[in-house]
Amino acid sequence: MAKKKKEKSFSSFLNNPIDFTLVITILFLLGIGLVMVLSASSPSALSESGNSYSYFSKQLLFAILGLLAMVFISKIDYRFYQKFYKHAWIVSLILLALVLLIGKNINGAKRWIYLTETLSFQPSELVKILMIVFYAGILTKNRDELEKYNTGFLKHMCLVAPIIGLLLLQPHFSASVVIIGICSIMMIVAGCKFKHFLITVGAVGIPAIIALIIFSPYRLQRVTTFIDPWQDQTGDGWQVIQSLYAIGSGGLFGSGLGESKQKYLYLPEPHNDFIFSILGEELGFVGCAIVLILFAIFIWRGVLIAMKAPDMFGSLLAVRNNFTCCNTGNN
């Protein structure tokens, strides 16, 4: 009897339904990403390590591991994670505290934990996923309290405060904004009133942003530089201007795969932060449009899955993981 039960359990593990449109979209995005990393990273990799394939080989390894993880995780019933939603919050705190203690300081920020000299791990990326699991679980549990301000939006927003505090100590402002956005949208989708969100933004969000600008003036400088990079062409505006040169020179069909000029040390991190600029230069408007369409299909399939989910926990998991994966993919 126990053997039959085990066989049935393994059979259901293998036969979970898969959205093949979503899988094919993911594979196309992954393939384009790998090709662009190979093209964009070769000059900087050769300059830094003497091996033009160093960044690509690392990315290829993580892509293979990611695909294997995707296949395995897709076979697990999502309701399994609901049992551990509280643990997700605790693990998030531990990871973010750990990066402050043993993380490597790069350009004035501690965001990475180096497992070896070449293998690193950014806890904030995992924390995004863990916070989705946590909020999906706690919002499902407290669904009857969400319409009230004190027991709804305010109470559940306070739970993210320690996470944001640890992120700002790194400092990692962009991850803080993403996580606040994730949690806010999940609460609104779950049943919190939108006016409660607006009240909180007005009472807490705006003063917090003003305080961050006062104590960290470079944040305001980044905004003004983005709006008008030409005011400091050889200083703060250099990266934005070179990025615009790359996209603008691509035209309709691009200069051709591997033919970018801006990747030759004009743009910092061409395989990372500015890879979309290299994509625009080499594949042009058409290449950029294809990538954006693929992301749109990805979001569309994710929303459909969320709408068809049999319970609130599954719906919240699907809709927020969908947009979070897009954010991670863009990064």
Q: Are residues 205 and 142 in the same domain?
A: yes
Q: Is residue 12 part of a domain?
A: no
pLDDT tens profile 194-234:
888 888 877 777 787 777 777 777 777 777 777 788 887 77
| Cα–chain center distance at 191 | 24
CA angle 318, 324, 327 (to 5 degrees): 150
**Residues 62 and 177 occupy one common structural domain:** no
Residue 120 burial (CB < 10 Å; 0-12/13-18/19+)?
Answer: middle
Task: Decide if 3 is inside a domain.
Answer: no
Residue type, position 195, single letter: K
Dihedral pair phi/psi, residue 186, rounded to 5°? -60, -40
Residues 178 and 90 in one domain: yes
Range of the domain at 285: 19-76+225-331
**How big, in percent rounded to 5, are the helix, strand and coil portions of the chain?**
75, 5, 20
* Domain count of the fold of the chain: 2
Q: At 233, is the secondary structure helix, strand, or coil?
A: coil
pLDDT band at 73 (very low <50, low <70, confident <90, very high): confident
Last residue of a domain, one of 192, 216, 240: 216
Q: Considering the domain boundaries, does residue 276 fall inside one?
A: yes
* DSSP SS3 for 121: strand
Q: Are residues 54 and 109 in the same domain?
A: no
Q: Are 89 and 211 part of one and the same domain?
A: yes
Mean pLDDT of 135-145: 87
d(CA 186, CA 247): 35
Q: Check pLDDT > 50 for residue 246.
A: yes
